[in-house]
Amino acid sequence: MQDYAPLNSLPSPAIDLEIVKTRVSEVCSVLLAQNPREASGPSGLPNWLLRKYAVFLAGSIWDLLCCSFDDQKLPS
């Protein structure tokens, strides 16, 4: 890690990148496919919770993904 220096500035986003398009149903499918016995991800939400409430959470998660793709930024 001593060989790596922090970035002073971020590169500008490419203009010709294809924006990823997804649907709420795809997000819901991914949430339903979560294994409830596996450890939770960086969000700290247990997989059983994501899977059980996938129908209710899919729309909100889809909105966050679309905003993130449009802005070409990841939420903190």
pLDDT in tens, 14-65: 666 666 678 999 999 999 999 999 998 888 999 999 999 999 999 999 998 8
**pLDDT surpasses 90 at 73:** no
What is the C-alpha to C-alpha distance for residues 55 and 24, in angstroms, rounded to an integer?
A: 9
Tell me the three state secondary structure of residue 58.
helix
- How high is the pLDDT of residue 72? 74
pLDDT category at 5 given cuts 50, 70, 90 is confident
Q: Would you state the pLDDT for residue 13? A: 63
Q: What contacts 31, CB < 8 A, 6 or more positions away?
A: 50, 51, 54, 57, 58, 61
